[in-house]
Structure 1
């Protein structure tokens, strides 16, 4: 009987596991950061958009973002609080004569009327360049470009804000010089303010005030600190744009050619859309005291 010896089988070769390929890094060369894109689309300022992202109010292709470190090209479906945002349009700017009694915000918890409650329905999504207090009147700039709004607000760009203030109290050279030197009120330091007396009307005085910042209630607080009690405040200019004969409640678009000429490199050549501008409404009879136009009767803000 032959002895059969089984020949050992060769060891089975096992294939080495393939190394897992790492996800390719994101290409940050294309697109732009989501907050900047939203700001250009007129949703809000870049900072406000970043806050909205942190609050989970922004989604891209159905996925909520938790960090502003995300880029988009505009081909995505981008939503804000569930509503789709259209791609940014060419940069546009409007002059608006804000009446007294309106809040400069999108909504008010107290139920007071806002400027957006009074805006024409055909106006696209816009943001304001800064704010005006409840009782402050005059020029308020609106734009569909949040990046432009932010640039116009920055003190470093030194866009002057010019107001006409009616104030009770004696105006003296010493008080005007104190404002020009820069003052501090309740721990808040204000940059030098140019103020000059225009005319006296009994116990009240009309004062021209020019500043380059725009802190909360700056004009009122600064004048009150030198003994001048403001009872009416009208902004007549912001940077190169003026109120002119725009009557209260009216909105007028700035021509693209004017926008480019006055803001220069802040407006990209491809961002200024051709515009004929809005037709100027016929102004009402001017106020004898201020030289400005009397506001039309506004039933929407009248107390019931």
Structure 2
């Protein structure tokens, strides 16, 4: 049965659908030896030979991992600058896992990694509004009014952010620890939100996807997730396309 090429690449764990589109546009995908660059291309994975960079697709067992990313690691699978990569921390897993979303080089905390492009795409899709929770240590002592501005939505890069959930955790010696929950994923969004109220983020850590919390997982370590863990990610609506793995 034919399927859209992006979906096939995601199922094979090559990348999320968004990244798969980029691979297609770059001419890195072939069907039966022919380069395809059209977004509407379809194929039958049971009949056609599909390759990425000359390597045939392999449909592996799906695995889902929660990593406590340390600062100093890039959230990519290759880096021309030779910096440490999050994949280095999963070297004992004999499968190619990609990160779901990203964390900045200097941000720590919860990072989902998987070879299931369908799940990765669902987590990132705005339709399902998957919450991401962070603990931000910021300079100074932001007022209640400033924190309410973050809750209501604030303009960054000319665009208003969606409402956030903000909770003051601690004030201590010129810094403040704030928990903030958002479901958007703009680049450096949390840092820019606090910058917009004139409080610089000194340290940032993601603590949860939905209700899947990092907990006591040590920095630089990971744990393999089960179905109950995955269900905690989607606090509003479980995408139909992945209900089978969450059944």
The TM-score normalised by the length of structure 1 is 0.74
Q: How many residues align?
A: 242
Structure 2 residue corresponding to 1:49, chosen from 16, 20, 38: 20
Q: Secondary structure at the match of 1:252?
A: strand
Q: 1:142 maps to what in 2?
A: 113
The CA deviation at 1:186 is 3.2
The CA deviation at 1:179 is 0.9
Q: Secondary structure at the match of 1:37?
A: helix
Where do 5+ consecutive residues of structure 2 fail to align?
none
Question: How has the CA–CA distance of structure 1 residues 262 and 114 changed in structure 2, closer, same or farther, with 3 Å as cutoff?
Answer: closer
Instruction: Indicate yes or no: 2:242 matched with 1:267.
Output: yes
Q: 2:35 maps to what in 1?
A: 64
Q: 1:86 maps to what in 2?
A: 58
Question: How has the CA–CA distance of structure 1 residues 262 and 238 changed in structure 2, closer, same or farther, with 3 Å as cutoff?
Answer: closer
Instruction: Indicate yes or no: 2:52 matched with 1:77.
Output: no
Query: CA RMSD for the aligned pairs?
Result: 2.0
Q: Output aligned runs, 1:161-240, within 5 Å.
A: 161-240=132-211
Which structure exhibits the higher relative contact order, with contacts defined as CA atoms closer than 8 Å and separated by 6 or more residues? 2
Question: How has the CA–CA distance of structure 1 residues 203 and 144 changed in structure 2, closer, same or farther, with 3 Å as cutoff?
Answer: same
Question: How has the CA–CA distance of structure 1 residues 63 and 215 changed in structure 2, closer, same or farther, with 3 Å as cutoff?
Answer: same
Q: Output aligned runs, 1:1-150, within 5 Å.
A: 30-75=1-46, 76-87=48-59, 89=61, 91-150=62-121
Q: Output aligned runs, 1:146-165, within 5 Å.
A: 146-165=117-136
The CA deviation at 1:44 is 0.9
Where do 5+ consecutive residues of structure 1 fail to align?
1-29, 274-304
Work out whether residues 195 and 209 of structure 1, in 8 Å CA contact, stay in contact via their aligned partners in 2.
yes
Question: How has the CA–CA distance of structure 1 residues 55 and 167 changed in structure 2, closer, same or farther, with 3 Å as cutoff?
Answer: same
Residues of 2 paired with 1:171 and 1:262: CA distance? Answer: 30
Structure 1 residue corresponding to 2:224, chosen from 241, 253, 269: 253
Q: 2:215 maps to what in 1?
A: 244
Question: How has the CA–CA distance of structure 1 residues 188 and 78 changed in structure 2, closer, same or farther, with 3 Å as cutoff?
Answer: same
The CA deviation at 1:72 is 2.3
Question: How has the CA–CA distance of structure 1 residues 266 and 251 changed in structure 2, closer, same or farther, with 3 Å as cutoff?
Answer: farther
The TM-score normalised by the length of structure 2 is 0.90
- Specify which structure has the higher proportion of helix: 2
